[in-house]
Structure 1
Amino acid sequence: MPAPERIPSRSVTTTSVELLAHGELSVRGRIREASNAVLFCSVAYEGESATCVYKPVAGERPLWDFPDGTLAQREVAAYEVDAAMGWGLVPPTVLREEGPYGAGMCQLWIEAAPDGTAPELLALVDRQEPADGWKAIGFAEVDEGRTALLVHADDPRLRRLAVLDAVINNADRKGGHLLPTADGRLYGIDHGVTFNTEDKLRTLLWGWAGEPLTDEAVEVLDRLATDLDSGPLAARLPDLITQAELTALRARVAGLRTSGRHPAPSGDWPAIPWPPV
C-alpha cells in the first residue's frame, strides 16, 4: 500500500467524535514508520468528512508488560481522561467495533505545522545547563565520546502534557509524539502503552520533575478525582481498562494531589524512551 497523502484535516468540531464513530472509513494509505498497523483514512458521515488514523486491533503486536486489553482501548481511555481534564491535548478518539480490518481505534488526523513554522520544543545543545526558556532532560551521546544536553521548551502546553502523562502513566512520550499545529495548539498522540498498574512513566518531559504543580493543574486534578469517583468518567473507563488499572489511575491522581508536585523518575524503570524521537 502506498504511503499516505498528507491532507490537512478540517478543524475539530463538536461533531468529530460522532463522525469518527459512525462515519464510513476508506483506507488511503499506511503509515509505515509505526511498529503496529496504522492506517491513514478518510471518514464521511451525513455530509461531514475528515481524515483520520485507524489502528485495527488485529494489527497490534502483543506486549508482555501490557497483557490486558488492547492498545486501541488505552488510546481511547487516554482521550477520555484528557477530555475530562479539559485540556484538549489528545485528538478526538473513538473505539469502533467495525472497520475495514475489524475493530480498532479511530483518531482525528492532526496536521502538524510545517518544519520551521512552530516554536522549537526539543533541542540538543552544547551546554552544561539549559538556557532561559528551556528545561534540562539529560545528557545524550551524539558522537563517539561527545555528549550534548537534551532540553525541552519551558512551555505551558508541554507542562500540561507532562501532567497528563503522569496521570495516565505514559510509558512512551517521545518527541515524535508531539504535534504542534499552525494555529498554536499542541497535541500528543500514540497512547497505547498507558495505564499500567506499575510505575512505567517514560518521557522526554522531565524538566519540571519535583517542581510544584501549577494552580491550574491542581484544580484540574481535583475535578478529575471527582469524575473518576462518581462522574461520567467512572462509568466510561471500565469498558476500556481493567479494574486494577482504574484503581491505579485513581491512586496516581491522589498521589499527585497529595504531593502537589510533578513526579520524578523512580529509578526502577528507564526514564527516557528509546529512541527519544
Structure 2
Amino acid sequence: MTHHPVPEPAEAAEPGRGPVVEPEGELTLQGRIMPASNATFLGEIDGVSVVYKPVAGERPLWDFPDGDLAGREVAAYLVSEVTGWDVVPHTWLRDGPHGVGMCQLWQEPDEEQEAVTLVAEGDVPPGWRHVFDGLDGRDQAVSLIHEDTEQLRRMAVFDVVVNNADRKGGHVLAMSDGHRYGVDHGIAFHHEHKLRTVLWGWQGEPLTDDEEQTVRRIRASLADGLADRLAQHLTDLEIEALDRRCRRLLGTGRLPRSGNDWPSIPWPPF
C-alpha cells in the first residue's frame, strides 16, 4: 500500500451534480472546526471553501493501524463516485499548512432541515423511520428517528458497503434541494465487521433494483480500475473485504439487521 500520494489537480466528474474542478491555489486556513476528535480545519482555495484534515493531526486508532484516516476519506469518495449517488462530497489529498491531508468541498446544510432527529418516545410522524428508544440528557424518554427518503436509504446502503463505523446523525448533511451528503468516513473499510450507524430504519428490507444494480456496479468497477485506485489508501485485505460485503449484500438481497456481536449504534449518536 502506497501512502500519501498527492495527485495533480484535475477535473473530476461528480455524478448527478455536475463536474468539479479541484482548486489549485494555496490552501489558507480560516479556523479550526470544533469539536472534532482529529484536527479539522475550515480553509479556502481560490475562493472555494474546503474542509482540511491533515494526516499529522490524526489520533492513532488501535483497530485501524494500517494507512491513515485521510486516505479512508478519499477511498469513501472514490466508491461514492462509482455509485453515481453523490453520497460523499468531492474529496482529494493535497498538501496544506500542516502537511498532506484530506480536502473536501465544504457543503452548507439547510438549518431548517433534519434528516435524523429525536422525538418524544413513540411519536414517529409519517414519512419517518424508528431506530431506537432511549433517554435524552434530561432523562426524557425519546425515540431516534430518520426520514424515509431515497437519498438517505442510498446512504444506508453505501455505509454497509464501505463498513462505516461512525454514521452519526451529525454526519448527515441535509441540503436545501433535498440532497443528503454523508461526511466523516475516516473509520471505514475495516476488513472486520464494524458497521455502526443511526440509519437502521430499513434493516431486513429487500434491496431495490437500483440498489442491487449499484452494488453490482461497484463490484464490476473493482475489477476495472477501482481496486488499483483504492490500493493507494487501503490494504489488499480491506479491498477484498469490500468486494466480499458487496457479494454478501447481493447474496441476501436485503439490508442487514443490527446484531448483538458489535455495538450497532455509534456513541454519541449525534
TM-score normalized by the length of structure 2: 0.90
* Corresponding letter in the other structure for 2:259: S
Size of the aligned set, in residue pairs, is 255
Q: Which position in structure 1 is the counterpart of 2:76?
A: 78
Aligned 8 A contact 2:117 2:169 in 1: no
Unmatched 5+ stretches in structure 1: 1-10
1:210 aligns with 2:208: no
Unmatched 5+ stretches in structure 2: 1-13
> Separation in 1 of the partners of 2:184 and 2:144?
22
Q: Which position in structure 2 is the counterpart of 1:58?
A: 56
> Separation in 1 of the partners of 2:19 and 2:25?
15
1:35 aligns with 2:33: no
Percent of pairs identical after alignment? 49
Instruction: State the shift of 1:15 in Å.
Output: 3.4
Cα distance 1:212–1:24, how it changes in 2: closer, same or farther (>3 A)?
Answer: same
Instruction: State the shift of 1:127 in Å.
Output: 4.2
Alignment of 1:1-277 (within 5 A): 13-16=18-21, 18-19=22-23, 22-44=24-46, 49-96=47-94, 98-113=95-110, 115-116=111-112, 118=113, 120-128=114-122, 130-142=124-136, 146-228=140-222, 230-277=223-270
* Corresponding letter in the other structure for 2:19: T
> Separation in 2 of the partners of 1:191 and 1:127?
30
Cα distance 1:102–1:264, how it changes in 2: closer, same or farther (>3 A)?
Answer: same
> Separation in 2 of the partners of 1:243 and 1:82?
19
Q: CA RMSD in A?
A: 1.7
Cα distance 1:146–1:15, how it changes in 2: closer, same or farther (>3 A)?
Answer: closer
Instruction: State the shift of 1:125 in Å.
Output: 2.8
> Separation in 2 of the partners of 1:184 and 1:157?
8
> Separation in 2 of the partners of 1:122 and 1:237?
30
Instruction: State the shift of 1:130 in Å.
Output: 3.5
Aligned 8 A contact 2:121 2:141 in 1: no
> Separation in 1 of the partners of 2:242 and 2:137?
40
Q: 1:196-252: CA deviations, max 9, x gaps? A: 111110000000010001111011111111111x21312201111000000100000
Instruction: State the shift of 1:143 in Å.
Output: 6.0
> Separation in 2 of the partners of 1:15 and 1:153?
29
